[in-house]
Amino acid sequence: MTKAHNESVRVMFVCLGNICRSPMAEAVFRHTVKESGLADCIEVDSSGTGAYHVGEPPHSETRQILREHGIEYTHAAQVVTAEHFEHFDYLVAMDRDNLAHLQRMSHNGDATLSLLLDYAPDERKRDVPDPYYIGNFVEVYDLVLRGSRGLLEHILAERQLDGATKTR
């Protein structure tokens, strides 16, 4: 069902630890939404499939790259729960392992489950690589940015919302 224009669309990004990729995606997507004048219409959050870092702030390199791009952000890591499936309209996984985890948890068809890079059609990669051990945060930022822009365009079209999107 299509929601009314001023009704909230709710988006949650999901990775493994909720300290590197999904908090970066949350911050970048929220920034993009704000630039488009839709901050009141789109709620954004992030979580992880693993509980290793619950309560921790984002990884220092995630915070650094966000700072470099002028994006303010605070977050405490949390685990994805059954309640999140009720609350959020879109659960957007950073990689196929995260998506498989979400698919195993899903008991009804309410939330749309997808991969972030589904929304970056020019990108051959399907997974945003896990930077925790190999540290490729610059590549992760680039993929997150492109996926976030495509995701917003997708939501605007699907929900018939108008945004002054600065996506180019």
- Active site residues per annotation: 15, 21, 130
For residue 17, state whether it binds ligand 4NP (rule: CB under 6 A): yes
Residue nearer to ligand 4NP on the CB measure, 38 or 140: 140
Instruction: Give the range of 10-18, 34-42, 79-87, 115-123 binding ligand 4NP by CB under 6 A.
Output: 10-18
Closest contact distance (angstroms) between CB of 146 and ligand 4NP is: 17
In the DSSP assignment, the letter for residue 93 is E
Instruction: Please identify which residue in 9, 11, 12, 16 interacts with ligand 4NP, judged by CB under 6 A.
Output: 16
Instruction: Please identify which residue in 9, 11, 12, 19 interacts with ligand 4NP, judged by CB under 6 A.
Output: 19
68 φ, ψ to 5°?
-60, -30
In the DSSP assignment, the letter for residue 54 is T
- In degrees, rounded to 5, the angle at the alpha carbon of residue 10 between the alpha carbons of residues 9 and 13 is 140
Residue nearer to ligand 4NP on the CB measure, 97 or 158: 97
By CB under 6 A, the residues from 45 to 104 that bind ligand 4NP are 48, 52-53
Query: How many other C-beta atoms can be found within 10 angstroms of the C-beta atom of residue 145?
Result: 19
Instruction: Please identify which residue in 9, 12, 18, 27 interacts with ligand 4NP, judged by CB under 6 A.
Output: 18
Measured distance CA(9)–CA(162) in Å, rounded: 13
The neighbouring-strand residues paired with 91 are 12, 113
Please state the length of the chain: 168
Closest contact distance (angstroms) between CB of 2 and ligand 4NP is: 32
The neighbouring-strand residues paired with 11 are 44, 90
**Nearest Cα to 54, choosing from 84, 79, 24, 80?**
79
Closest contact distance (angstroms) between CB of 94 and ligand 4NP is: 6
Binding site for ligand 4NP (CB under 6 A): 15-21, 48, 52-53, 130, 132
